[in-house]
């Protein structure tokens, strides 16, 4: 099963006998977009219009724990995450489709969490809400309580030490923009640069200008050129485990399994004892 689906495919599923649970995970990085503008409010955007039947899920409080030593978006408390999923109607035997405002990062975070904790049928709407040409609604649905209870899998998650090891024994992709990887700028974290041995692979390279994923064959060729050859273990990190989930999703589209270092650079760089590499060279 492909990890993504088109708006046309989603419309067909919604009209079918077993329509998916829809999760709206619209989110943007905190902070005003311009002087005088308030920060993005995903819940307000949801209230203004969403896919019929979709339930809003808050990334900062339901798909992550509070910022701290483990990074800006550490793993959520599994009881909180599970309760949010059941409230949204997520059930073991019912498919789930996740979407956001089009960037794909937040939807990918929800997709990754559900997959890592055991749900077998989760996909992301390619292109997000802007790709949907059908009706929208403003009412808040009240779905029947789901039965999904998250159970973390044995694979798919990296901590800081495992990420450092993978950068030497396999391939560790840094999904941030190239200038942050090189350490030219660092607008958020304590210091700029990258984990020694990590390879720059910005998420922007995975999508077309409209935000949809590039064809699977193109993505596979791109990642293999960066070192993700057959049999090589692959991991991903970013700033705080959100855009990195989007890279893991792109790798899944390409048929390449990958693990996510959720703490990412926000955790790594906060520890002054961890080494930092700068410049375009991985080392």
Q: Catalytic site residue 244?
A: no
Helix or strand or coil: residue 283? Answer: coil
Contacts of 165 (CB under 8 A, 6+ apart): none
Distant-in-sequence, close-in-space partners of 213: CB < 8 Å, separation ≥ 6? 4, 104, 126, 206, 207, 219, 249, 250, 253
Contact 181, 281 (CB under 8 A): no
3 state SS of 158: strand
Total residues found in the chain within this entry: 283
Phi, psi of 83 (to 5 degrees): -65, -40
Q: Which tokens go with 161?
A: 């030490």
Burial call 2-36: b when 16+ CB within 10 Å, e when fewer: ebbbebeebeebeeeeebbbbbbbbbbbeeeeeee
3-state secondary structure of 7: helix
- The single residue of 166, 236, 238, 254 carrying the catalytic annotation is 238
Distance CA 258, CA 247 (A): 9
Catalytic machinery residues: 238
């Amino acid at each position: 099963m492909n990890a993504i689906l088109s708006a046309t495919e989603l419309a067909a599923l919604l009209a079918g006998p077993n329509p998916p649970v829809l999760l709206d995970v619209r989110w943007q990085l905190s902070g005003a977009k311009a002087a005088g503008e308030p920060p993005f409010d995903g819940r307000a955007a949801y209230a203004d219009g969403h896919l019929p039947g979709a339930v809003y899920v808050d990334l900062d409080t339901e798909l992550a724990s509070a910022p701290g030593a483990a990074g800006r978006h550490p793993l959520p408390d599994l009881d909180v995450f599970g309760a949010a999923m059941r409230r949204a109607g997520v059930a073991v035997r019912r498919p789930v489709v996740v979407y956001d405002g089009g960037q794909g990062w937040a939807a990918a975070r929800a997709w990754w969490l559900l997959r890592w904790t055991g749900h077998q049928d989760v996909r992301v709407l390619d292109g997000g809400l802007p790709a949907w040409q059908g009706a929208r609604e403003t009412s808040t649905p009240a779905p029947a309580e789901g039965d999904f209870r998250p159970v973390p899998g044995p694979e798919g998650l990296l901590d800081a030490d495992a990420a450092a090891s993978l950068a030497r024994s396999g391939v560790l992709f840094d999904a941030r923009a190239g200038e942050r990887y090189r350490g030219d700028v660092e607008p958020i974290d304590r210091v700029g640069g990258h984990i020694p041995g990590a390879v720059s692979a910005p998420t922007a390279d995975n999508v077309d200008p409209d935000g949809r994923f590039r064809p699977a064959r193109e993505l596979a060729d791109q990642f293999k050129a960066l070192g993700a050859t057959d049999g090589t273990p692959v991991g991903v990190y970013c700033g705080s485990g959100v855009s990195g989930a989007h890279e893991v999703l792109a790798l899944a589209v390409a048929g390449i399994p990958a693990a996510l270092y959720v703490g990412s650079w926000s955790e790594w760089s906060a520890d002054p004892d961890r080494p930092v590499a700068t410049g375009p060279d991985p080392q």
